[in-house]
């Protein structure tokens, strides 16, 4: 076979292959186009199916509502409950009066809670729910909050406390404290008592007077020099003073039992109950002998024996 013939054969073969590939592409293209047309043809059918389902659900819901309204006579409808009732004003009324007013209006009375109130008497209505003027059905409940009245506390015993401590304790219990100074044997600045007395139960807030000691009254120390120790005890007692420490001076020239020194000195101002120290001539034994042998007032004042 010559070269020309082989070349002509190749030319005849190539167009046939291309023709086959062209036919395959042509066959595939109409197939795809046909699937798209099929989907477009099915779309209207789907929409009609969903529309029918929605109409069926709406019909069933309407039938159910109609059956509930017509075939359930025990359900109360608004027109069967009668006219609305206006809630009356109860705040400030006593418990029994508020209850009677609600019963006259056809409403139920209930107590929600009780709270302490210093300005409202016990049993008075402080709040209500529903509020006055609200429209409710007959027989509806109205709950109130009642007053327990003011709180009550017992006055504590504050004797011996400092003024600040006693005041803080009383004020924490709700009392209003007023302090007053008074003469007393206790230490100055200490609480003596309260008025009213400790243990008294009072409503709070209430005024309470707190008495504070300004110390015992002052007195003048007597001059004890040269007096016998027994006489010194009587003078100190008359002045409201106490005998303090006793020291002895065996070298003193005075007779045993006589006072040769004192502190504070005579004329000095002390508070009642304060001590006065003395120094006595002689030794303790000699002083005791002098006190035992010293004639008493009854012996010295009595008639002499014959």
Instruction: Report residue 33's pLDDT band, with 50, 70 and 90 as the boundaries.
Output: very low
The tens digit of pLDDT for each residue in 80-118 reads: 556 899 999 999 999 999 999 999 999 999 999 999 888
DSSP 8-state secondary structure symbol assigned to residue 263? E
DSSP 8-state secondary structure symbol assigned to residue 76? P
Does position 25 have pLDDT exceeding 70, yes or no?
A: no
Task: Give me Rg for the CA atoms of the chain.
Answer: 58
Across the chain, the runs of DSSP E, i.e. the strands, are 85-86, 108-115, 125-129, 135-136, 141-147, 152-154, 176-182, 191-195, 201-203, 207-213, 218-220, 242-249, 259-263, 269-271, 275-281
Structural domains of the chain sorted by starting position, each given as residue range(s) with its CATH number in brackets: 85-147 (3.30.10.20), 152-213 (3.30.10.20), 218-291 (3.30.10.20)
Pairing between β-strand 141-147 and β-strand 108-115 as defined by DSSP bridges: parallel
Q: What is the mean pLDDT of residues 138-159?
A: 94
Using CA atoms, how far residue 60 sits from 64, 67, 73, 238, in Å, is 6, 11, 21, 115
Q: What is the mean pLDDT of residues 233-248?
A: 91
**Which residues partner with 211 through β-bridges?**
180, 193
Expressed in angstroms, the distance from the first to the final Cα of the chain is: 206
Other C-beta atoms closer than 10 Å to the C-beta of 152 total 13
Angle between helices 284-293 and 229-238 (to 10 degrees): 80
Q: Can you give the pTM of this predicted structure?
A: 0.46
């Amino acid at each position: 076979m010559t070269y020309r013939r082989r070349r002509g054969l190749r030319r005849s073969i190539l167009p046939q292959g291309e023709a086959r590939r062209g036919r395959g592409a042509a066959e595939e293209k109409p197939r795809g186009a046909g699937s798209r047309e099929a989907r477009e043809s099915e779309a209207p059918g789907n929409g009609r199916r969903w529309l029918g389902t929605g109409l069926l659900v709406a019909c069933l819901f309407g039938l159910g509502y109609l059956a509930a309204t017509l075939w359930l006579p025990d359900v109360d409808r608004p027109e069967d409950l009668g006219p609305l009732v206006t809630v009356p004003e109860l705040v400030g009324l006593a418990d029994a009066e508020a209850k009677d007013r609600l019963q006259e209006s056809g409403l139920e009375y209930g107590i929600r809670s009780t709270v302490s109130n210093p300005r409202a008497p016990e049993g008075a209505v402080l709040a209500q729910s529903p509020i006055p003027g609200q429209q409710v059905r007959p027989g509806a409940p109205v709950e109130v909050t009642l007053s327990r009245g003011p709180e009550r506390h017992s006055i504590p015993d504050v004797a011996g406390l400092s003024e600040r401590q006693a005041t803080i304790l009383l004020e924490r219990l709700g009392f209003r404290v007023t302090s007053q100074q008074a003469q007393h044997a206790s230490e100055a600045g200490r609480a003596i008592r309260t008025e009213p007395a400790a243990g008294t139960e009072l409503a709070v807030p209430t005024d309470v007077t707190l008495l504070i000691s300004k110390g015992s009254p002052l007195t003048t120390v007597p001059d004890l020099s040269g007096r016998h120790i027994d006489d010194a005890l009587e003078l100190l007692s008359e002045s409201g003073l106490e005998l303090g420490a006793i020291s002895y001076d065996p070298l003193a020239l005075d007779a045993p039992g006589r006072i040769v020194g004192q502190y504070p000195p005579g004329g000095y101002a002390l508070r009642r109950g304060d001590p006065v120290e003395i120094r006595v001539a002689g030794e303790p034994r000699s002083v005791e002998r002098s006190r035992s042998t010293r004639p008493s007032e009854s012996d010295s004042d009595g008639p002499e024996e014959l």
